[in-house]
Chains A and B, each alone.
Chain A
């Protein structure tokens, strides 16, 4: 013999309660009276109508009959048909990006978590897979049917602040779909219908978005550099609402000292840019705003303060315009013969020699000397990257590009071919020659160069700026490194700088070894600094022509009613005795 529902063992409490109640029930004092004549009349007077009187007199009988009928009913195991989810498996894709923290009273993420809890019951016996988003989507629950496991997984979901990269998660979900009719729930904030892959006709998409009308004011850009009379900072704040917003802006140094305070009023949809000069010197500058918006995480931004620029060495065979570009920024540039470039130290090297990529320090590679270019024709598309924070490449014309490096991250494309790439080490590769483009004539070119030198120099004094959970090789001496937060809390340790992964929560961190310490900043990606109008919709049909009916048993509810009836019966018996006729 075995029991299939051990979890209902808890109902043992009921008989125990009744037993205890029986022992400690109120007992009647006995009282002899000359006659109970009047008392009887008083008690009978409570039921005025004869129908009620009849009911009361036979209460025990009726209650017992009812209980017995319910018992019969329970044995017949009644159920109600539910047809809500019609598929053989369910996949949830849970967006864990920072924008999910936006929300009026409750963040979108918490709202979705509640929705998930209630959905678990509707899923029933079908296997459930939960995929979290990020640059590496994870399946935290695979084809699970155990409700407890699923509930546990739901409770453990946290926001990872990463860019959601829903496409990757959807690809992963598709791998799970196979030939099985599937319902895919997408818990995100905003998604357009066209972003959904509709290759499979047996997949039903249900997109649960954020609520509508969320307000957001965000700091979108911050750059800072040291000048003679203090730090110069460039700041951009964006008001994404339809109304005027008054925000309080403050600048802080890394140890929390307030450097500047200002109140700003922003027009609807305004992008407000301003330069602040003469700020006290500090290594890190933190800008933060206090605004009445629904999204907290993008209200502050940090930046390393650029130091005195390093020397920049431009290969002799590079186009003159490159040197001119750097010079226009007021940077110290020298032209160095190609063969000497290899031996230079503490210098940013600009060249077209692919072999120099093996240098320890990052280089700026413009063109390739080991490949042949091919013609392209089209617009330049840039991804969200810090390098393009101040430069727009929209009007740039490119006529030919070199073949890309395979393992490098592409940050700009032209005509679907990689145009600008970044190596894991931090090299920047522009896959074209200056002759093939009109970019140097564009004002965005020097700004881009400035960004490049800024990024490369940051790598010298600090580990640089990371997005949450970003995996990137860092130029550190291999050894025991530990990451601490700004106020000294230990976060984690790592040994291999090539496999460094940034912390999850945005903020200022310090990487420490025995001999050295280098600061790093974890910052929300640009895309996470803006919130879109929430969307919720359903698309597709999980199973065509076949309606799956799920039966939900009512037996346990009937059991509960019988239990209540028993208690009532007992009370009736206690009050009126068995026969009150």
Chain B
């Protein structure tokens, strides 16, 4: 048994995947992703005529010997990809299945990144939760860290406070949240996200109970995040109203994301991590 929240077989399976992106924003460090810039990798790109100011060391002397002209031989550059995973650790994520699932998603994504020798940063909105490492050597450290996040205990709005814990210049930014905050707050939050990254992806996690509540009768609903209490006599009519409200919220949520060029994907916790990664993420070309 491994001590992490990801099963072994899944770890080996996701080792073959990587995060797919078309973002061109890269880090300055060397990495395993082919860049469109020219650099010092072993992959040949093309020849270019020498111009003043070019590095004399890059002149291909064999070609000069044949043509008596100075050509510069260019290679493709290999650059690292920077991926940030922002995990919503507000209390609304605290429901057992949901929290486990959210961390599994974060783990899986992070594992893929580190496995490719790319730079991974990870944060929740808690203080001192920042993690930033590069390279496959830190895979276990990362898994350990996420596994240790035992409960989502942040008391407050995720959308309002998440910006504080964000690094700039990410290639890909994953936001793992449940989206259960007022739309205005999300709008404020998403408006600012493109500054941090060119490719923002929002993974929205829901549970079946949220989609289709099973409790009936007179219920005092307690909001775990705000401790607000609401007495509801749940009838079929009220349930219908709830579902309609929820759908409208999600529609609006997706609309906001689309406006700011943010991709969204809703994952249901009960479907399991396997299904989420190999079916939903893969078919949506979020990983490859």
Contacts and interface: CB of A to CB of B under 8 A. Distances in A.
B95 A34 contact: yes
B221 A36 contact: yes
A86 to B, nearest CB: 56
Interface in A5-42: 26-42
Contact of B182 (A32, A37, A39): A37
Nearest to B94: A34
A45 B226 CA distance: 21
A43 B238 CA distance: 8
Interface in A317-336: none
Contact of A28 (B181, B219, B223, B245): B219
Given A39-B230, A41-B245, A29 B220 contact: yes
A574 B218 CA distance: 11
B241 A37 contact: no
A492 interface: no
A33 B249 contact: no
Contact of A33 (B217, B221, B231, B238): B221
A40 B249 CA distance: 13
A31 B225 CA distance: 13
B224 A28 contact: no
Contacts of A515: none
A516 B180 CA distance: 105
Nearest to B240: A42
Contacts of A32: 221-222, 224
A81 interface: no
A577 interface: yes
A31 B229 CA distance: 10
B261 to A, nearest CB: 25
Which of A27, A37, A574 gathers most chain B CB within 10 Å? A37
User: Which one of A28, A36, A39 has the greatest number of beta carbons of chain B within 10 Å?
Assistant: A39
Interface in A409-434: none
B241 A45 contact: yes
A45 B93 CA distance: 26
Contacts of B217: 29
B242 A30 contact: no
B235 to A, nearest CB: 11
B230 A34 contact: no
Contacts of B224: 32-35
Nearest to B223: A36
Nearest to B210: A34
B228 interface: yes
A144 B209 CA distance: 74
B180 A35 contact: yes
B199 interface: no
A574 B231 CA distance: 9
Given A28-B220, A31-B219, A576 B98 contact: no
B203 to A, nearest CB: 16
A40 to B, nearest CB: 6
B172 to A, nearest CB: 27
A304 B177 CA distance: 109
Nearest to A45: B241
Interface string B204-218: 000100100101011
A581 to B, nearest CB: 13
Nearest to A28: B220
B228 A36 contact: yes
B215 A576 contact: no
Contact of B242 (A27, A31, A42, A577): A42
Nearest to B91: A34
Interface string B232-248: 11000010011001100
B78 interface: no
A403 to B, nearest CB: 95
Contact of B178 (A30, A34, A42, A575): A34
B84 to A, nearest CB: 24
A575 B233 CA distance: 9
A40 B241 CA distance: 11
A42 B241 CA distance: 6
B121 interface: no
Contacts of B221: 31-33, 36, 39
A576 B231 CA distance: 7
Contacts of A37: 180-182, 223, 249
A28 B231 contact: yes
A42 B238 contact: yes
A533 to B, nearest CB: 62
Contacts of A31: 215, 219-222
A33 B246 CA distance: 14
Interface string B173-184: 000001011100
A108 to B, nearest CB: 55
Interface string A556-581: 00000000000000000011110000
B253 to A, nearest CB: 11
A575 B222 CA distance: 15
A38 B210 CA distance: 10
A32 B238 CA distance: 18
Nearest to B95: A34
B197 interface: no
Contact of B232 (A26, A27, A39): A39
Nearest to A29: B219
B92 interface: yes
Contacts of B180: 34-35, 37
A577 B241 CA distance: 21
Contacts of B230: 36, 39-40, 43
A34 B246 CA distance: 13
A26 B238 contact: no
A73 B233 CA distance: 36
B222 A30 contact: yes
A31 B246 CA distance: 18
A37 B221 CA distance: 11
B220 A33 contact: no
Given A27-B218, A39-B232, A34 B245 contact: no
Contacts of B246: 38
Interface string B81-116: 000000000001111001000000000000000000
Contacts of A29: 215, 217-220
A38 B242 contact: yes
Contact of A39 (B181, B218, B242): B242
A105 B94 CA distance: 75
B133 to A, nearest CB: 31
A30 B232 CA distance: 10
Interface string A219-262: 00000000000000000000000000000000000000000000
Given A32-B224, A36-B230, A575-B233, 4 more contacts: A31-B220, A35-B92, A45-B241, A575-B231
23 contacts: A28-B219, A29-B218, A31-B215, A31-B220, A31-B221, A31-B222, A33-B213, A33-B221, A33-B223, A34-B92, A34-B93, A34-B95, A34-B180, A34-B207, A34-B210, A36-B222, A38-B246, A39-B242, A41-B245, A42-B242, A42-B245, A575-B231, A575-B233
Closest 9 CB pairs of A and B: A28-B220, A35-B180, A42-B241, A34-B92, A38-B245, A36-B223, A41-B245, A36-B230, A31-B219
Interface of B: 92-95, 98, 178, 180-182, 207, 210, 213, 215, 217-226, 228-233, 238, 241-242, 245-246, 249
Interface of A: 26-43, 45, 574-577
